[in-house]
Chain A
Amino acid sequence: MSLDDDLTARSDDSETAQSAHMSLSQITKRYGGVTALDAVDFKCDLGSIHAVLGENGAGKSTLIKVMSGVVTPDEGVMKLAGNPITFAGPSAANAAGIVCIFQELSLLPDLTVADNISIADPPRWFGLIDAGAQRRRAETLLARIGCEDVNPLSLVRDLPLSRRQMVEIAKALAKDPTVLILDEATSALTATDVDRVFEILRLLRDDGISILTISHRMHEIEAVADRCSVFRNGQHVQTFDQGTRTADQIVQMMIGREISTHFPPKPDPGSSETTGEEQPAKALELTAFSWDDRLSNLNLNVEAGEIVGLGGLDGQGQKELLLGLFGVLKATSGTISVNGRPARINSPLDAKKAGIEMALVPEDRKIEGLMLPMSIEDNLAVASLDRLSRGLLVDRHALQAATEDGIRRMQIKVGNITDPVSTLSGGNQQKVVIAKWLMTNPKIILLNDPTRGIDVGTKQEIYHLLRDLAEEGAAILFYSTDYEELIGCCDRVVVMYDGQIVRELEGENITEHNIITSALNINGATP
């Protein structure tokens, strides 16, 4: 903590106060009980590239949403060129010259590049779109960012991802911005394409545009940013000129959250190791597992009774890994072995079968986990109806016993089990998802960020449950965007970066510092 205090003391926020193009003061935004932005002061200048850093949930996304008019702050003042402003929506922000390129592309795949660039306000000639003028405009804008090779007549869906990103930038430029915000705009690009985007960003900076970029890749920030701001827990920690802090110092600024939850004790790592010469077969073993261009050559194993955490920044392939294991992805390569025997899993139905007995708590409980309008009972039973049926009909007594057992085990607070599951709180809904799978007695449990958006009490219950399940012999693979959870819960943590496993941490080595350094891939080479 002392280093952190030291850094804060050396903050040089005041330097550029007079020349700030856009400034935020005391901006606060709350979602329910969660404070996403806490009295944030922030400035950005014309003709400068400003990087915003912070771990998952530090408030970066909310900052961008406030600046680009997607959400309205609860408190605080925003100023543009010295004048206070408020935005009714994204288009109002666009009109004021603030344009944001969000992580998910907003291009229409079936329309041409020229159509997309001018979609909001195409040049018109007697009310009809002037194709010639629209094309010239596209050519000019593409030339400005050095993408003359993109034909304005090609369809967006025919372009490679990197070119689409360029079109997205050109589309943003068509709105004539003074502030251009990029939310992880490079996360889907290869190194060469990233260089290209940086080239463009520098050009735009030299044109006097204020550029704000969110990136998780430290070396990219080093390459392109003029200034950096670090966020943590919804607060602005510090802003400094790029190059004045070491990577290690930056990591120190990003971590340092207070531990607010209690975790069940971990078993002594030594005790679980077998003394005999024969290694028991791993409950789950993955060899050279690859899929599409999102997962490459993963090797991973989970022992029975072990909780293995999946770490890393959002979207580095963790979700795909879990789905791939569960048979959802087609054309995966490599082998999956369960208890030493190769397993062919082509669908969740296969994953559920005897001999594999896998369960997946999916990412989005509202879309993938639950049938919201259906009753609690139906949702609990859906994964185990096959084993609760006698012949064609469902055995009602067995069903009732099983659902009651599930509810008791997860301590779900239910009024009436025939109520729609949507009437439950978020935490109880997630418990229903987990209970649904516990009713199938799984041996391998995959969890995709199961505590997202859940109250602290339920979180702790889930941690204890996971430990109990592990002690009963389940093998657990647990992806979380919350590092604290990984540290508190897991026997081992595997960190992923760009579809690969970059580091495996065990025992004492599972620290926030280690997880963040490997998540940012500071030491590793760019894949």
Chain B
Amino acid sequence: MTSATYFSDLKVRVAQNTGLCLVIVGFIAFYVFYNMNHPRGFSTAVYIQNSNEVFTLAMVAMAQTVPVLMGGLDLSVGAIMTLVNCLASHLLSGSPIQILLGMITCLATGALCGFINGCVVVYGRIQPIIATLATGAIFMGIALFLRPSPGGNVDGDLSWAATNDLFEVAATYGLFDDGKAAWFQPIAWLPVPLLLILITAAFIWMPFARSVTGRSVYAVGSGEGAAYMSGLNINRAKLAAFTLGGFFAGIGGLYLALQTSSGNADIPQAGAYTLNSIAAVVIGGTSLLGGVGSAIGSIFGALVLRTISFNFRIFEIDPLLQPLFEGVVLLAAVSLGALSVLRVKNTLESFR
């Protein structure tokens, strides 16, 4: 491919993803501004702290994206995240093999919860919204069974390694001369959570988006009738969308356990994660009507949301105003998304 066509392609892609580009630019602007005003700005310590604070929300936002792309909504992502969080607080200790199995169990639980959502929606033929509201209560109940009060036992080394930079990973596990190998230095500063986000996006989301099933998810959200006429497997797409959503939420819950070294079945916290996941999805340029957007955008949506809070902190703005601000941002974002409705020329077309 010549560079000329490469650039014209790039132009097309940018034009199609103006929402994503805007949110990326917005994030960079907010984040640079934050670092410039932070006393220890542009340092590894700040990056590590911030990426830790972003990780779980980023995962929950990715989890919300998949059902939304399909034209649904998952009100149980916060509950699934909490359930896996509580489960992890029991399983992430002991021998390395036990820990590994524990992590696998946690992720499988997340995916299973999502799969159950999918089954209720596809085979129970219950609206996604009400189905996930109900399953969310069930998941939350199980989380409360697992962790009636906050606490838990999480392997300290793993927790330390997962929430710091790569240097600490190497130092903790005695790799690469305890992280002092010369070749390792250029990447040693990278925060692990940031790396994990990149890995999840590149090795789970991107392949899914490029699979036939992933394409079908977009197709169903874009027009279920046309997707059916094109011979796509609608039910499989829906099941896959909810299952992958549950899996992402599971990663978030697992990480939260590592970050806090405990599990906490906090109902308001789960609700806040669900709400913020919707906000992140909308800010990240994904249409609530389905078919348009990507989980990458939602990651940046989560980044923007969190960076706004960081700025709140640095300027010592009353933290009591933060919930209000989050609510206003969400409301403004969905209202902007609805402007297209006002352009409909035939009123009958607005009844969907």
Contacts and interface: CB of A to CB of B under 8 A. Distances in A.
Interface of A: 90-91, 105-111, 115, 119-120, 122, 124, 127-129, 131, 151, 153-155, 158, 291-292, 323, 328-331, 347, 368
Given A106-B229, A108-B222, 9 more contacts: A90-B229, A108-B218, A108-B227, A108-B230, A109-B222, A110-B218, A122-B215, A154-B16, A292-B345
A345 to B, nearest CB: 12
B12 A110 contact: no
A127 B207 CA distance: 9
B13 interface: yes
Interface string B214-241: 0100110111001101111000000000
B218 A111 contact: yes
A242 to B, nearest CB: 32
Interface majority SS on B: helix, strand, loop or mixed? helix
B291 interface: yes
B347 interface: yes
A323 B226 CA distance: 26
Interface in B287-343: 287, 291-292
10 contacts: A90-B231, A106-B229, A109-B291, A111-B219, A124-B212, A153-B13, A158-B16, A330-B344, A330-B346, A347-B347
Nearest to B69: A110
A106 B211 contact: no
Contact of B346 (A128, A323, A347): A323
Nearest to A156: B222
Contact of A106 (B230, B292, B345): B230
Contact of A108 (B9, B211, B226, B348): B226
B40 interface: no
Interface of B: 9, 12-13, 16, 207, 210-212, 215, 218-219, 221-223, 226-227, 229-232, 287, 291-292, 344-348
Given A128-B210, A151-B12, A328 B219 contact: no
A202 B194 CA distance: 57
Contacts of A154: 12, 16
A368 B348 contact: yes
A131 B210 contact: yes
Given A120-B230, A128-B211, A108 B346 contact: no
A106 B346 contact: no
Prevailing SS type, chain A contact patch: loop
Contact of B292 (A90, A110, A131): A110
A108 B207 contact: no
A153 B13 CA distance: 8
Contacts of B218: 108, 110-111
Contacts of B231: 90-91, 120
Given A128-B211, A129-B210, A106 B226 contact: yes
Contact of B222 (A110, A153, A292, A330): A110
Contacts of B292: 110
B346 A328 contact: yes
Contacts of B232: 119-120
Nearest to A347: B347
Given A328-B347, A329-B345, A347-B347, A115 B211 contact: no
Given A106-B230, A329-B345, A119 B16 contact: no
B97 to A, nearest CB: 30
Contacts of B344: 330
Nearest to B10: A153
A90 B346 CA distance: 32
Nearest to B287: A110
Contacts of B227: 108
A129 B214 CA distance: 10
Contacts of A127: 211
B312 to A, nearest CB: 35
A91 B223 CA distance: 19
B222 to A, nearest CB: 4
A128 B211 CA distance: 5
Nearest to B292: A110
B211 A330 contact: no
Contacts of B210: 128-129, 131
Contact of A291 (B9, B207, B221, B345): B345
Contacts of B16: 153-155, 158
Contacts of B223: 108-109
B347 A119 contact: no
